């Protein structure tokens, strides 16, 4: 997360809510410590949900960023709010223990905790349905393209959209199946169009 991202959001008068990750180690450490010693301003619990053979529960805590980022006002002064998301998971019919993950988000506006929780859930929906598939099935992150990366990204998006439009459920298996025979590639790339006139 570049520092200028918040500045640009402020200039555009846009609301920015983004995850604080390992690539900002100092910021992440400070936020973790601040949330540990500070009392949260608001709390929301999604409750237990059953999906994908497991039970999941998410808890959202909102903190003021001012006390914890006071020393970094020049760098991170645009961050108004910190949201700590704790996700609990328990696999059904399993002896595995319940797991717990904690993620931190920064926002340039003070938002109600319910609004933040909905935005974060939508973000993860996109992450799981798009970015995860592109990374796992197409191995997008494994190979960094230094020349014209947008062309490779566009080709991957095109292929993914074609496979989804054809009704494909398992993208990774379909890519493997296509790669076994060049005729499969040709067949799968034929785009049928409706030529009927209204």
* Phi/psi-derived region of residue 13, left when phi > 0, alpha when psi is between -120 and 50, beta in every other case: left
pLDDT tens-place string over residues 111-148: 999 999 988 887 665 555 555 566 666 666 666 666 77
Measured between alpha carbons, how far is residue 46 from residues 88, 96, 110, 179 in Å?
11, 22, 20, 42
pLDDT value, residue 112: 93
Q: Is the pLDDT of residue 95 over 80?
A: no
On whether the CB atoms of residues 90 and 50 are closer than 8 A, the answer is no
Q: Is the pLDDT of residue 2 over 50?
A: yes
- Please say whether the dihedral angle defined by the alpha carbons of residues 175, 180, 186 and 188, taken in this order, is positive or negative: negative
The single residue listed with the structure tokens 């993208």 is 171
Mean pLDDT (the chain) is 79
Q: pTM of this prediction? A: 0.66
The SS3 of residue 44 is strand
**157: its two tokens:** 């998006």
pLDDT tens-place string over residues 159-195: 777 777 777 777 777 776 766 666 665 565 554 444 4
């Amino acid at each position: 997360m570049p520092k200028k991202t918040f500045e640009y959001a402020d200039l555009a008068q846009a609301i920015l809510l983004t995850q604080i990750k390992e690539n900002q180690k100092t910021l992440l450490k400070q936020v973790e410590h601040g949330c540990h010693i500070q009392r949260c301003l608001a709390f929301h619990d999604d409750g237990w949900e059953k999906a994908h053979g497991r039970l999941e529960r998410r808890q959202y805590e909102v903190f003021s960023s001012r006390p914890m980022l006071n020393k970094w006002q020049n760098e991170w002064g645009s961050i108004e709010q910190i949201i700590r998301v704790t996700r609990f998971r328990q696999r059904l019919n399993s002896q595995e223990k319940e797991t717990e993950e904690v993620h931190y988000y920064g926002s340039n506006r003070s938002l109600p905790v319910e609004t933040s929780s909905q935005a974060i859930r939508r973000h993860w929906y996109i992450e799981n349905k798009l970015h995860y598939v592109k990374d796992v099935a197409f191995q997008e992150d494994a190979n960094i393209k230094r020349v014209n990366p947008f062309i490779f990204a566009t080709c991957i998006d095109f292929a993914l959209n074609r496979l989804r439009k054809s009704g494909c459920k398992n993208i990774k298996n379909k890519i493997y199946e296509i790669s076994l025979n060049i005729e499969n590639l040709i067949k799968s790339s034929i785009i049928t169009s409706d030529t009927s006139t209204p």
